[in-house]
Structure 1
């Protein structure tokens, strides 16, 4: 029997599967979504991110931000109001993917006023592994790609702890079971990311079809704010991470290294050499992906698109030596380019006019006058003697 309650679509990731793109499209098209009967809650583009940090605070104990506490309650309240007015709701953040059963249950209980539908975007592992590694590097991690990729094939606990974290986010059967294990399978939706070259609009059309949106009329050409690095660019950032050795705060690192250097400059360089698995690693990646596909089919989840998109294709030409470190000349070229960009930014900041000084208080003005006028100095000294007698 079909429920008559409005739906709440909860997009749980996984990371690096077009999540930022879908979130940006929804944020920039909030009014059109509302016209189509769907609320995308939040007062800012990162409202839902803060809400997830809030509700899963035990998983992110080092994240200190005064605007986070209460963010989840605010999103829940706005979602409830939308459902009570007959609208569907779309919530999305990839940090939900590694939730424990208890964490997922709390979220689902808080949203139980609606008919919950779990949405999971997924991507083939041969593309996902390099993408996740370079994103980890942009967040300060120091493991080399060859070391990281080799550890993924090991059993837990793996020689590289970051490989365990990768599977916490990317083990599709476990993620889907955690979030959708207590829901009818038709309320768990898997959206495979289209093969490279298909275009973002294919993912958008799959998403729009799931939510019952009109496929056209939305602004989908939003600027991609989270582009990937090439091999040389990622290796430069990794070496910077090693050199910094935690000497800067998380906030300063995010501002200078991740955003200014990596995302705004290095990710935009032309001619970047892609990061790819070695030819031999495609075998186990394909085997693991096939296991994912079979688990999804057995569970009976609703698939929007083609599960074949989750299976890695043939290794690209040159994959046998793909993970070699960049040549010194190549790394030097990237380094000089980056240094030039940072110098340009520093010069631009130095050339900015100084902010206006706040007007001095009356005491400061009197002191300044006394330094220039003898009569005012006599008044100042007399006031000082009188004040000292009263103490």
Structure 2
């Protein structure tokens, strides 16, 4: 069984949306919505002073970019009456805790203390405007969990406003797949697309995908709890690199250009070759029965983290390509989601027709990925550096068999458990 970032038992309602995809020709029917989108291109009115703006993502919609910009500008925002109460750029642990979700493979499970710390910080802002952002709030499994989040932040005072950022599914799918691979997924991209788009109930190997990215149902869930008048959807236009930052400034009543992009190599997407290298490593890791905690320490936070920091993709590096059939299916789903979101009555900023746009040319998914030796070396060094941070000492010799008499599979398993034991001690 493949490993998901988070676990959900709510795939059934999302599956209905995939089965109901219309023919891609019907995408043209959403042209009527373009007038609404054009009308929203004017600057949106700021939210009332004292609003607690809750940005819930979902994943792969510019969340890291906005979180970095908000955190970097928190002192400047405070001078304009807007607080960023989280103690870090991304209060992921707090969001996972309140949603009762386990988090990333091998990481320590968040506790209620993480959520309480964030809630206390939000309430400490008093009557000033505040903003909290985590894409993991979109993973709230049901209305009860959403109510718990909103109540904690101050629903009884009528101050919570939910912000949802959306991008086209065709843009999200490759980014989300490589992120799942970074959390242990072993399935190739085209096979994964087949499962997500063509194999009912569309929940394997990652049930969280449609819970996050059936965007109409996401908006409906949160609208049921806070009311549609307290939900704003921002459609991200990838052609306008700073458009999302400007939308946040306008909603928060901040001066223009106060929020600036913050470079973040750690969050960059992997190339196709890097992702395939990691995916094959995941196969070896799981087949040898190594513990999840070792994966977190040595692979995700060791090899992958160092590779991202040390290596920037070159122009000739192959990106993850989505086949034409999947792009067309995604556009059809996007058209249906656009209609349902518009019907909810929530405020939409940007052009909703972008969510169902079909690229003029399909990506070439037939390219064979080749990883540069330098990139592979940096990944290997990252794993070694993570292991060296907790050196293995006084390793006892094998009692019954020498190393040469032990199978490589069994040897890797033994060494992995020993390394993990030393890491835990440290």
TM-score, length basis structure 2? 0.71
Structure 1 residue 124 corresponds to structure 2 residue 143: no
Alpha carbons of 1:156 and 1:348: their partners in 2 closer, same or farther (altered >3 Å)?
closer
Structure 1 residue 71 corresponds to structure 2 residue 114: yes
Structure 1 residue 53 corresponds to structure 2 residue 78: no
Structure 2, gaps ≥5 residues long: 1-45, 392-426
Q: How far 1:350 sits from its partner (Å)?
A: 11
**Deviation digits for residues 160-217 of structure 1 (CA, Å, limit 9, x no counterpart):** 331x32101111111111112233423211111212x432x12111221122211223
Residue 35 of structure 1, aligned match among 79, 104, 118: 79
Q: How far 1:64 sits from its partner (Å)?
A: 6.2
Residue 63 of structure 2, aligned match among 5, 19, 37: 19
- The answer on whether the counterparts of 2:245 and 2:260 sit within 8 Å (CA) in structure 1 is no
**Deviation digits for residues 99-121 of structure 1 (CA, Å, limit 9, x no counterpart):** 11111111112222451111011
Q: Could you say which residue in structure 1 is the equivalent of 2:252?
A: 211
Alpha carbons of 1:344 and 1:258: their partners in 2 closer, same or farther (altered >3 Å)?
closer
Q: How far 1:282 sits from its partner (Å)?
A: 2.1
- The answer on whether the counterparts of 1:29 and 1:218 sit within 8 Å (CA) in structure 2 is yes
Alpha carbons of 1:296 and 1:275: their partners in 2 closer, same or farther (altered >3 Å)?
same
- The answer on whether the counterparts of 1:131 and 1:228 sit within 8 Å (CA) in structure 2 is yes
In structure 2, distance between residues paired with 1:275 and 1:294: 29
What RMSD over aligned residues (CA atoms) do the two structures have, in Å? 3.0
Residue 341 of structure 1, aligned match among 370, 378, 385: 378
Q: How far 1:87 sits from its partner (Å)?
A: 0.6
- The answer on whether the counterparts of 2:182 and 2:278 sit within 8 Å (CA) in structure 1 is yes
Alpha carbons of 1:145 and 1:214: their partners in 2 closer, same or farther (altered >3 Å)?
same
Structure 1, gaps ≥5 residues long: 355-391
Q: Could you say which residue in structure 2 is the equivalent of 1:381?
A: none
In structure 1, distance between residues paired with 2:194 and 2:223: 31
Residue 266 of structure 2, aligned match among 200, 219, 225: 225
**Deviation digits for residues 110-161 of structure 1 (CA, Å, limit 9, x no counterpart):** 2224511110111101111111001101111111101111122236423733
In structure 1, distance between residues paired with 2:336 and 2:365: 26
Structure 1 residue 274 corresponds to structure 2 residue 319: yes
Return 201-210 or 251-260, whichever deviates more. 251-260
Q: Could you say which residue in structure 1 is the equivalent of 2:331?
A: 286
Q: What does 1:223-302 align with in structure 2 at a 5 Å threshold?
A: 223-245=264-286, 247-265=289-307, 268-270=312-314, 271-302=316-347
Partner of 1:280, secondary structure, is: helix
Q: How far 1:221 sits from its partner (Å)?
A: 3.4
Alpha carbons of 1:3 and 1:205: their partners in 2 closer, same or farther (altered >3 Å)?
closer
Alpha carbons of 1:340 and 1:137: their partners in 2 closer, same or farther (altered >3 Å)?
same
Q: What does 1:72-221 align with in structure 2 at a 5 Å threshold?
A: 72-82=115-125, 84=126, 86-99=127-140, 100-111=142-153, 112=155, 113-154=157-198, 156-158=200-202, 160-162=204-206, 164-195=207-238, 197-199=239-241, 201-221=242-262
- The answer on whether the counterparts of 1:122 and 1:190 sit within 8 Å (CA) in structure 2 is yes
In structure 2, distance between residues paired with 1:77 and 1:241: 39
In structure 2, distance between residues paired with 1:135 and 1:350: 23
Equivalences, count: 338
- The answer on whether the counterparts of 1:191 and 1:207 sit within 8 Å (CA) in structure 2 is no
Alpha carbons of 1:35 and 1:5: their partners in 2 closer, same or farther (altered >3 Å)?
closer
Q: How far 1:230 sits from its partner (Å)?
A: 1.8
Higher relative contact order (CA 8 A, sep 6+): 2
Residue 359 of structure 2, aligned match among 303, 308, 314: 314
Q: Could you say which residue in structure 2 is the equivalent of 1:385?
A: none
- The answer on whether the counterparts of 2:162 and 2:230 sit within 8 Å (CA) in structure 1 is yes
Q: Which has the larger radius of gyration?
A: 1
In structure 1, distance between residues paired with 2:208 and 2:226: 26
Q: How far 1:3 sits from its partner (Å)?
A: 9.9
